[in-house]
Amino acid sequence: MKILLINPNTSRGMTEGIAAAARAVAAPGTRIVATQPTFGPVSIESHFDEAIAAAGVAEQVRLAAEPPDAVVIACFGDPGLDAAREATSAPVIGIAEAAFQAAALLSTGFSVVTTMTRTCVMAERLLQRYGMHHACRGVHGTDVPVLALEDCSPDTLNQLEAAARTALARDRSGAIVLGCAGMAPLCRTLGERLGVPVIDGVAVAVKWAESLVSLGLRTSAHGDYAPPLPKPMAGWAGALRW
Amino acid sequence: MKILLINPNTSRGMTEGIAAAARAVAAPGTRIVATQPTFGPVSIESHFDEAIAAAGVAEQVRLAAEPPDAVVIACFGDPGLDAAREATSAPVIGIAEAAFQAAALLSTGFSVVTTMTRTCVMAERLLQRYGMHHACRGVHGTDVPVLALEDCSPDTLNQLEAAARTALARDRSGAIVLGCAGMAPLCRTLGERLGVPVIDGVAVAVKWAESLVSLGLRTSAHGDYAPPLPKPMAGWAGALRW
Amino acid sequence: MKILLINPNTSRGMTEGIAAAARAVAAPGTRIVATQPTFGPVSIESHFDEAIAAAGVAEQVRLAAEPPDAVVIACFGDPGLDAAREATSAPVIGIAEAAFQAAALLSTGFSVVTTMTRTCVMAERLLQRYGMHHACRGVHGTDVPVLALEDCSPDTLNQLEAAARTALARDRSGAIVLGCAGMAPLCRTLGERLGVPVIDGVAVAVKWAESLVSLGLRTSAHGDYAPPLPKPMAGWAGALRW
Amino acid sequence: MKILLINPNTSRGMTEGIAAAARAVAAPGTRIVATQPTFGPVSIESHFDEAIAAAGVAEQVRLAAEPPDAVVIACFGDPGLDAAREATSAPVIGIAEAAFQAAALLSTGFSVVTTMTRTCVMAERLLQRYGMHHACRGVHGTDVPVLALEDCSPDTLNQLEAAARTALARDRSGAIVLGCAGMAPLCRTLGERLGVPVIDGVAVAVKWAESLVSLGLRTSAHGDYAPPLPKPMAGWAGALRW
Amino acid sequence: MKILLINPNTSRGMTEGIAAAARAVAAPGTRIVATQPTFGPVSIESHFDEAIAAAGVAEQVRLAAEPPDAVVIACFGDPGLDAAREATSAPVIGIAEAAFQAAALLSTGFSVVTTMTRTCVMAERLLQRYGMHHACRGVHGTDVPVLALEDCSPDTLNQLEAAARTALARDRSGAIVLGCAGMAPLCRTLGERLGVPVIDGVAVAVKWAESLVSLGLRTSAHGDYAPPLPKPMAGWAGALRW
Amino acid sequence: MKILLINPNTSRGMTEGIAAAARAVAAPGTRIVATQPTFGPVSIESHFDEAIAAAGVAEQVRLAAEPPDAVVIACFGDPGLDAAREATSAPVIGIAEAAFQAAALLSTGFSVVTTMTRTCVMAERLLQRYGMHHACRGVHGTDVPVLALEDCSPDTLNQLEAAARTALARDRSGAIVLGCAGMAPLCRTLGERLGVPVIDGVAVAVKWAESLVSLGLRTSAHGDYAPPLPKPMAGWAGALRW
């Protein structure tokens, strides 16, 4: 089984880190093919970054050399999720949606610990769209920049742990969802320190993808996720036309 | 890995049917241990049936001979889900919650096709509790009795297919969720006939359970799902006391 | 008029306390018949306790010697409410639902003061199910054990009063709902101390029950609350079969 | 016990009809004092009518000769409800809120059958404000004018019955709420014909009011429903100043 | 273009202040005709005040000497809004609805700073009715009386500024909505001090009204906002009959 | 005042048509500068199209030759709205949000008539995000392709009129919102035929933009809409870096 793992930003280091985290949890027969857009920001910390990154996700799904069995979008804003679901009949999993679902299975209420405070609103909107705003009891920004997670210092780890402890107490939560794909390598350590489920969406998304593939379930091509209608595309997007 | 698969009703035939469906999708290393309560109704078609069955699920989790790695509750009302999550630190998956999650990953909106019309309200309440009422565009009763699914006649299959077709058209849906564990054996055939994702919660729950176990994620013992406080229990429930 | 007052736990002392509270507010012609399940926990402080207790409520409604005119379920989680409504055509009132309704009639927003913090989530789910989550501005755990309410010390009373004062101020609330049937005897004192409406669900449920009976209104037998379908029941539940 | 029953419109015939319906269900010791504003429309079938009527309710509560033990507002839009709750410390019950509460106690879902189609939106807004929009499965206008209910012809009764039957079937409902105080005299007949609970808010409101009074519960004077601040009032409203 | 600007209270000083604020932002061809009810309270700080004021708004719309091109209701509770929309085919804008809309266009989340704490509930209900409760992150009472705004002291201004700063920080908001028409003259100063959009509903409502008029858009006379049905009106309201 | 009007698709004919519609309603001093992305689809009829178009909107706002006073995004999915609001401190108006707001000011409930049925889900999600799902009573696809609107035949017009009539009746609505910028030229004719407010978001957005500019209100730069953090951007997006 081949899973196309898309890092929506263009930081090669982060693509590799996420790929390693994915491979660490993948089943023996699963091949993780990690990629990133040919254009766009090195990290996603604003709506502007995200708008470019969503187009980059669409590009990577559209131009995939061989059709994958499943696609994972490895950025907590789930950029380009709907576009990707139209562009392939393989299941497409966003790490935020997957993480929220796993957290809802393991606790009555969870908290999200994320990077820049200004991105909290993105998580809040996803929670509302996915119907998870009742299950999530708080979204907490730490103002750790995304790229600082790449070579995570002990201080950064401590900062995230402290934010998680505050969240658990203040929100009366039972689990922590990590609000950035770049936090994947820290998941185990944080889980051990906190003693509650700490959920990394990359790992869950890989397992969810394997699950759906093994069940023969594919994205619905009936109705809203039918393949895009063929039409001219101008400029660089001409390469993506149907 | 051992998954305790609880059929909340006391129909042995249905327990075996569900177990077979679960084994058909389980990974090589997964052992499905199927069980059912020592008491309660042979099918669950009312709130009264469900109240007894929920206690039966609690019994089976509490009295499991050896602790399982995960638990699946194989009735579409997810009876006893919260009780089970307190009674074990293993992940506990209800088939309705799992099915809704999978359907939300594969379509922008899905429809539920279930058995007795009077049980639609149970599905509707679960949808609301799980925050999936926006993703579900309709719950459709067929008035097929649960036990008629055991030796499913062609007529019954046709009836379900017809209900699903109506639902897809009327609800503008992209996927069908089967609203009864007893429909698990019909999932593949219905999927082939309908040409859209048809989702059986038993199968999804087994894969979700395997996924969480492989990630080392367990039910939160912090807060709302902490183990029950030890206390006397009267009557037959004395055997379940902590 | 005969009201079947079910204490869903098996503490006889609490059954008597609740019965006394009910009789203190009942109309002259009302007979309160207090009962409790033949099985289950002595107090309800977890989902596990509640799952057993819900079956106990179903048992008591099903096996009532003579059909009551109304039923009151005297535990703040309203366990077994839907099952009871199917099992009898008499009106069935849960004390949480009744208390929320009364509080909504007397204030623009109320706060709940309850026992164990871990049970707050149960109240929150009921609020959502009943559509009262906008009217309730906060649910506050005190970690007073349920059975400590039986012979309530001045300290316990003071603790509840303090929690209520905090709730009124922090939530900008106008009324307090007592989150446990065992608090019924404290209602008047707390109301005098706090100077706001303090609402005990047992009392409200008794009056709501009397009201519906006097109006000739009964639980709908049409649709979702129709009597359960007759079917075999295994084990101890055989006695409850239809 | 004295209940001030306010008919918010100025039709004396309707005031008397509603008063008779209230007296028919009141307890022996309850005195129903029926009144109506000194100004305003003879029926309430628009937002404009309602705005005037709400001021009329405020007038009647403010100017009540002797303080009542409870107040019932007998128009399905619950006009002036919040104002009345500030203007008296007695409990104030609106017939729509009471009817919705009773219906939610007796069914999993109910339908409203009302008069002019253009007033459906008023009921829908109340449902949302009271959190009852999930419990109500449909609001159905019949375009029967309010005053046609006064001397209700067999045709009108048949029209209401037909609308109720359609609502029960289409909405999958278990109970009918009558959407106009003027329908109170028809409640029993409709209930007998339909075989489901048919709920008249006037009757429920009277019993709810008696209940709260007997429990010593009064409108919260703490916070949002504190008495209005004293201040000058111009024109005819000078008589209402605090 | 003539805009009828209704101050729902009877304080002439406030009517003039609001009119001046409206004229300061009106387009060259716009004539602001400011008015107030012939009856009712000098300020609106309770539901009781508001019920009288809503009837006053209805009066002013009904009795307008010449039909206006648009109507603005200049009190933050939007009293009488629906009645006014029935009573004229001109667009009718409430300042709360307009302010919420503008704030939602300029920020992902805003806070309301208002006068008496007891009026916060009114804003909260409007937010829910307009669907803006997700966009508004907090409503903050300052307990500044409405009439204290007329000759606003430096202290009052400082108090409002402090409340706004607290709101921005605590609510993680991006804009401030002023919760009282009487704050209109302070809008510019507060905006300069705070460095975020500060939104006065009077100004927005005037521009929204001009916009709709210039587009030829009028209140729908189809359905719920059709003109009221002609009928007798008793007492002083006789002058308003249709 | 200069308004940057962005047509998010790359059909020059549609850009001109929308620009003409905008100029027809603009105030004398308003200059409409119409533009379109340098890349992307000629029409937006899928999530895939929209993901590319959102990046195109971000491009046009970022690369605007001279800073505009306001920005209008003229596609009913409001693509790139949040990105645009970060990329400029000018107010940014999406035509869907503006149209929903205007419709809510003119009716108690409205219906949307749009192009391809598969795009209904986009409108439904916007309604939920903006809190307008209660105000909108139905979204209706007509399966008219977007580009067929450019040289709109009488048949197309009749088809839209018929869909609108059906929507008004079935949804009990009072106004129609046109669900595509390409319908702007048909607005007046449809309004005359239907006799209810027909709302074209392009026109409303232009007036809303003029309004906010004239009030000196700008997009909040505090918090979630602060300018994007400067960072490298790969590929063609390098031109957009901060």
Task: Give me the pLDDT at residue C190, please.
Answer: 97
Task: Give me the pLDDT at residue E130, please.
Answer: 98
Which residues in C lie closer than 8 A to residue E121 (C-beta atoms)? 108-109
Q: D128 and F109 in contact by Cβ < 8 A?
A: no
The residue among E47, E120, E121 with the most chain C CBs within 10 A of its CB, best to mutate, is E121
Instruction: Let me know whether C210 and C90 are in one domain.
Output: yes
- Higher-pLDDT residue of A148 and F207 is F207
Task: Give me the pLDDT at residue B217, please.
Answer: 98
Check if E121 contacts C (Cβ < 8 Å).
yes
Whether the per-residue pLDDT at D25 is higher than 90: the answer is yes
The residue among F211, F213, F219 with the most chain E CBs within 10 A of its CB, best to mutate, is F211
Check if E128 contacts C (Cβ < 8 Å).
yes
> Smallest CA–CA separation between E169 and chain A, in Å?
12
Whether the per-residue pLDDT at C33 is higher than 90: the answer is yes
From the CB of residue A98, how many other CB atoms can be counted at a distance below 10 Å? 27
Write the pLDDT tens digit of every residue in E157-179.
999 999 999 999 999 999 999 99
Reported as a pLDDT band with limits 50, 70 and 90, residue D66 is: confident
Mean of pLDDT values over E51-80: 97
* Side chain identity, residue B33: V
Task: Give me the pLDDT at residue C151, please.
Answer: 78
What would you report as the CA-atom Rg of chain E, rounded to the nearest whole angstrom?
A: 17
User: Alpha-carbon distance D59 to D64, whole Å?
Assistant: 8
Task: Give me the pLDDT at residue F218, please.
Answer: 98
User: Alpha-carbon distance E83 to E80, whole Å?
Assistant: 5
Residue A22 is part of a domain; what is its CATH number? Answer: 3.40.50.12500
> Smallest CA–CA separation between F43 and chain B, in Å?
22
Mean of pLDDT values over B211-228: 96
Whether the per-residue pLDDT at F152 is higher than 90: the answer is no
For residue E110, the SS3 value is strand
> Smallest CA–CA separation between C146 and chain E, in Å?
34
Check if C141 contacts B (Cβ < 8 Å).
no
**Residue of F196, F210, F217 with shortest CB distance to E220:** F196
Task: Give me the pLDDT at residue E242, please.
Answer: 84
Give the closest residue to F73 by CA, choosing from F55, E118, B116: F55
Give yes or no for a contact between E97 and E68, defined as CB atoms under 8 angstroms apart. Answer: no
Task: Give me the pLDDT at residue B52, please.
Answer: 98
Check if B147 contacts A (Cβ < 8 Å).
no
Chain C from 6 to 35: CB within 8 A of any B CB = 10
User: Alpha-carbon distance E130 to E111, whole Å?
Assistant: 15
Instruction: Let me know whether E110 and E179 are in one domain.
Output: yes
**Residue of B37, B86, B235 with shortest CB distance to C39:** B235
Domains held by chain D: number: 2
Distance of CA A19 to the CA centre of its chain: 12
Contact partners of F by the rule of 3+ C-beta pairs under 8 A? A, B, D, E
Mean of pLDDT values over B9-22: 96
Lowest mean pLDDT among B98-107, D140-149, E21-30, F113-122: D140-149
Task: Give me the pLDDT at residue F104, please.
Answer: 98
Instruction: Let me know whether B41 and B67 are in one domain.
Output: yes
Instruction: Let me know whether D60 and D18 are in one domain.
Output: yes
Check if C85 contacts B (Cβ < 8 Å).
yes
Q: F108 and D128 in contact by Cβ < 8 A?
A: no
Write the pLDDT tens digit of every residue in E128-143.
999 999 999 999 999 9
Chain D from 100 to 119: CB within 8 A of any B CB = 108-109
Check if A171 contacts B (Cβ < 8 Å).
no
Task: Give me the pLDDT at residue E147, please.
Answer: 85
The residue among B72, B220, B224 with the most chain A CBs within 10 A of its CB, best to mutate, is B220
Whether the per-residue pLDDT at C236 is higher than 90: the answer is yes
From the CB of residue A239, how many other CB atoms can be counted at a distance below 10 Å? 12
Task: Give me the pLDDT at residue C76, please.
Answer: 97
Q: E215 and F195 in contact by Cβ < 8 A?
A: no
**Mean per-residue pLDDT of chain C:** 96
Task: Give me the pLDDT at residue E135, please.
Answer: 97
Q: A211 and B208 in contact by Cβ < 8 A?
A: yes
Which residues in D lie closer than 8 A to residue E58 (C-beta atoms)? 48, 51-52
Q: D106 and C97 in contact by Cβ < 8 A?
A: no
Mean of pLDDT values over E34-51: 98
**Mean per-residue pLDDT of chain F:** 96
Is residue A114 classed exposed, middle or buried when 0-12, 13-18 and 19+ CB atoms within 10 A define those classes? buried
Reported as a pLDDT band with limits 50, 70 and 90, residue E41 is: very high
Check if D121 contacts F (Cβ < 8 Å).
yes
Instruction: Let me know whether C113 and C193 are in one domain.
Output: yes
List the beta bridge partners of residue E32: E3
User: Using CA of residue A100, residue A102, residue A108, residue A113, what is the dihedral sign?
Assistant: negative
Check if B47 contacts D (Cβ < 8 Å).
no
Give the closest residue to C136 by CA, choosing from C123, C149, C146, C118: C123
Q: Which residue has the tokens 């009877």?
A: E10
Instruction: Let me know whether F143 and F215 are in one domain.
Output: no
Which residues in B lie closer than 8 A to residue C232 (C-beta atoms)? 10, 41-42
* Side chain identity, residue C17: G
Check if C78 contacts B (Cβ < 8 Å).
no
Whether the per-residue pLDDT at C169 is higher than 90: the answer is yes
- Which positions of chain A have pLDDT values less than 70? none
User: Alpha-carbon distance B206 to F140, whole Å?
Assistant: 39
Q: How many helices (H) and strands (E) does chain F have?
A: 8, 10
Whether the per-residue pLDDT at D65 is higher than 90: the answer is no
Check if E126 contacts D (Cβ < 8 Å).
no
Which residues in D lie closer than 8 A to residue B117 (C-beta atoms)? 172
Reported as a pLDDT band with limits 50, 70 and 90, residue F171 is: very high
Instruction: Let me know whether B8 and B78 are in one domain.
Output: yes
User: Alpha-carbon distance E90 to E69, whole Å?
Assistant: 6
Task: Give me the pLDDT at residue A147, please.
Answer: 85
Instruction: Let me know whether F137 and F194 are in one domain.
Output: yes
Instruction: Let me know whether A71 and A53 are in one domain.
Output: yes
Check if B125 contacts F (Cβ < 8 Å).
no
Instruction: Let me know whether D49 and D121 are in one domain.
Output: no
Contact partners of E by the rule of 3+ C-beta pairs under 8 A? A, C, D, F
Contacts of D175 (CB under 8 A, 6+ apart): C220, C222, D103, D106, D107, D110, D111, D196, D197, D198, D199
Q: How far does chain E reach from its first CA to its final CA, in angstroms?
A: 26
Q: Residue F156's domain spans which residues?
A: 96-201
Task: Give me the pLDDT at residue F62, please.
Answer: 97
Instruction: Let me know whether B90 and B207 are in one domain.
Output: yes
User: Alpha-carbon distance A177 to A159, whole Å?
Assistant: 15
Q: C40 and B87 in contact by Cβ < 8 A?
A: no
**Residue of E117, E121, E128 with shortest CB distance to C108:** E121
Check if E172 contacts A (Cβ < 8 Å).
yes
ipTM over 0.85: yes
Check if A223 contacts B (Cβ < 8 Å).
yes
Instruction: Let me know whether B222 and B164 are in one domain.
Output: no
pLDDT > 90: what percent of chain C? 95
User: Alpha-carbon distance B206 to B56, whole Å?
Assistant: 20
DSSP state of A196: S
Contact partners of C by the rule of 3+ C-beta pairs under 8 A? A, B, D, E
* Side chain identity, residue B209: A
pLDDT > 70: what percent of chain D? 100
Whether the per-residue pLDDT at F151 is higher than 90: the answer is no
Write the pLDDT tens digit of every residue in B110-136.
999 999 999 999 999 999 999 999 999
Task: Give me the pLDDT at residue C79, please.
Answer: 98
Which residues in A lie closer than 8 A to residue F126 (C-beta atoms)? none
Q: C172 and E120 in contact by Cβ < 8 A?
A: yes
Task: Give me the pLDDT at residue F55, please.
Answer: 98
